[in-house]
Amino acid sequence: MEVTQDIAGRLLLTTLVVKVAIAATLATMLVRFGQFRRILLTEKRAWRERLTFTVAFGIPVSIGVVLRLLLGYDAADLSLAGAFLAGLIAGPYAGAIVGCLVGVPALIANEWIAIILAVGCGFAGGGLRELSPKEAIWHVTPLLVTALHRHAWKLFGRFRIDWQITLLAAPICLELLRQGLGLQYGTQRLFYLHVEPTNVWLSGLVVLTTVLSVAVPIKIWNTARIEHRLQEQEKLLMTARIEALASQINPHFLFNTLTSISSLIRSQPETARMLIGKLSGLLRRLLRSQEHFVTLREELASIDEYLDIETVRFGPTLVVEKQITPETLDQMVPSMLLQPLVENSIKHGISRKVGGGRITISSERTNGHTVIEVIDDGLGMRTDKPDQDESGGIGLRNVDERLRVIYGANYHLKLSSAPGEGTCARIEIPELVVPQQASA
């Protein structure tokens, strides 16, 4: 007889462990779906979102009841915890609907008390949701069980509601109610994990399992909520950094161009007037565009306008050559990415060279990346100290930092230079093109 009880106790213990594992697995699987995860992010949900949550969560829980009825797999039955959890997260009506979903299979099997209890659990969870602070629900954690005595002392010591204790006490009371109803009406009318009243240890584990079946999914879903919020904050931070860098490059470009024009005002006023007109057109183009990313085709068009200004300054001694692979023209690049590179070639390479020089802008695709190079045959520059003005100053640092912020630490500006031979500025970015629009 003792051997039989020992086997039954071990089987029950295994069932309890598997029950918590199933609850955790179900919560993890559901939170992987984007639409379900978005429902968890806000407390004010439309009725369609509540219905989506109810169906997505209620159907798997009801399937667990069916598995228990057909296969005798008791660990799959999460009817009490599932209905209460649905009400706690999505409101009383969602909890009641989940209670009906899990109660109908039991009702068909003549367990008529089950549907009443399940619907009641759904309303109980929904009622607590309406009464408690919404954020307190997400603070429910399985670890709170180990600190229950300290929270209980605070509850009685301060004479005010500790919502975490209340939210954990509710499934405890519901499980004790189910045990009482089961003893009164028998397993033919209500499924419950039967434990001898004298076995306090196993009875306590049954109650603890119900609590964990509620607390573990909440913990998993709250972790997903926190991760999503952190990702959103990282995106906002990255956007802010990109905007700051973009706003930094425009005044830098304007200052350098105005400096170039000022040097011509006394000696060549007509040329200076023409350059101001071209500059105003370029600035008008920049002001119209609020996008942080443009196609390489649009970026090259902006470079042409900038080079129009520089060509007037240097005359025919400045030669610009383009070697652009056609399939790279739709590559998306950060706006104003190439202008600092071209400006650097002119300012630190060609302007100091007697007889002018040549700038070559090239692009090609290789290994899933677009490689863009700006090469000049000027006097070269120092690349060992990129922070110094003589090595390109704020323009090159801005390009390098934008690449690292947008694409990651592995993407940065690569400079190679040889004294008297010229400089090569190389950019390698992942392929990202504008989708082609289908013609009518």
Position 399 scores a pLDDT of 86
Q: Mean per-residue pLDDT for 234-260?
A: 64
**Strand extents, DSSP E, 248-388:** 293-295, 318-324, 332-334, 357-366, 369-376
| Domain co-membership, 181 together with 288 | no
**So what's the pLDDT on residue 306?**
79
Q: Are 267 and 225 within one domain?
A: no
Contacts of 214 (CB under 8 A, 6+ apart): 81, 84, 85, 88, 140, 171
**Cβ-contact 53, 36 below 8 angstroms:** yes
Instruction: With cut-offs at 50, 70 and 90, classify the pLDDT of residue 47.
Output: confident
Q: In sequence order, what are the residues at sequence separation of 6 or more whose Cβ sits closer than 8 angstroms to the Cβ of residue 117?
A: 80, 103, 174, 177, 178, 181, 190
CATH number, domain with residue 328: 3.30.565.10
On the question of pLDDT at 385 being above 60, the answer is no
**Contacting residues for 43 by C-beta, under 8 A, at least 6 apart:** 134
Instruction: Give the range among 224-233, 321-330, 414-423 with minimum mean pLDDT.
Output: 224-233
Residue 437, pLDDT score? 40
* 240 within domain boundaries: no
Would 288 be classed as within a structural domain? yes
Is residue 257 in some structural domain?
A: no
- In what helix (H) or strand (E) does residue 407 lie, and over which residues does it extend? helix 393-407
pLDDT of residue 259: 76
Total tally of structural domains belonging to the chain:
2
Asked whether residue 144 falls in the same domain as residue 46, the answer is: yes
Measure the CA–CA gap between 62 and 366, rounded to whole angstroms.
53
Question: Does pLDDT of 436 surpass 60?
Answer: no
419 in a domain, yes or no? Answer: yes
Determine the Cα–Cα distance for residues 233 and 5; give it in Å rounded to an integer: 55
Between 155-159, 399-403, 416-420, the lowest mean confidence (pLDDT) is in 155-159
Strands 422-430 and 414-418: antiparallel
Regarding whether 340 and 222 lie in a shared domain, the answer is no
Q: Please report the pLDDT score of residue 390 as a whole number.
A: 42
Q: Are residues 289 and 206 in the same domain?
A: no
Pair 220, 272 in one domain: no
pLDDT tens, position by position, 267-308: 778 878 877 887 777 777 666 555 678 889 988 888 887 787
Is 256 a member of any domain? Answer: no
Q: What is the mean pLDDT of residues 11-33?
A: 90
Asked whether residue 187 falls in the same domain as residue 293, the answer is: no
Assigned domain for 300 exists: yes
User: Per mean pLDDT, which of 174-183, 232-241, 336-345, 392-401 is the most reliable?
Assistant: 174-183
Map tokens 């070639």 to a residue. Answer: 345
CA angle 130–133–135, rounded 5-degree value: 120
Strands 422-430 and 332-334: unpaired
Q: Which of 232, 254, 289 is the last residue of a domain?
A: 232
Q: What is the mean pLDDT of the chain?
A: 81
Q: Per-residue pLDDT for 45 more than 70?
A: yes
Sorted by sequence, the CB contacts under 8 Å of residue 272 that are 6+ apart come out as 261, 262, 264, 265
Distance between CA atoms of residues 108 and 407, nearest Å = 58
Same domain? For 17 and 160 the reply is yes
Q: What is the pTM of this model?
A: 0.61
Helix ranges (H only) for 194-268 are: 200-262
Residues 198 and 342 placed together within one structural domain of the fold: no
- Mean pLDDT, rounded, for 414-429: 88
Percent of the chain, pLDDT > 90? 29
Q: What is the mean pLDDT of residues 406-424?
A: 86
My answer on whether 281 and 209 are in the same domain is no
What confidence category does residue 438 fall into, taking pLDDT thresholds of 50, 70 and 90?
Answer: very low
Same domain, 214 and 274: no
The whole-angstrom separation of Cα 180 and Cα 192 is 10
pLDDT digits (tens, 9 = 90+) for 248-269: 555 656 776 777 778 778 777 8
Residue 254 is assigned to a structural domain of this protein: no
Is 79 in contact with 66 (CB distance < 8 Å)? Answer: no
Residue 391, domain extent: 263-430
Residues 214 and 291 placed together within one structural domain of the fold: no
pLDDT at 386: 46
Q: Is residue 436 part of a domain?
A: no
Residues of 93-122 as b/e, b for ≥16 C-beta within 10 angstroms? bbbbbbbbbbbbbbbebebebbbebbbbbb
| Structure confidence by residue, pLDDT tens digits, 63-96 | 999 999 999 888 999 999 999 999 999 889 999 9
pLDDT for the residue 291: 63
H or E element that contains 163: helix 163-185
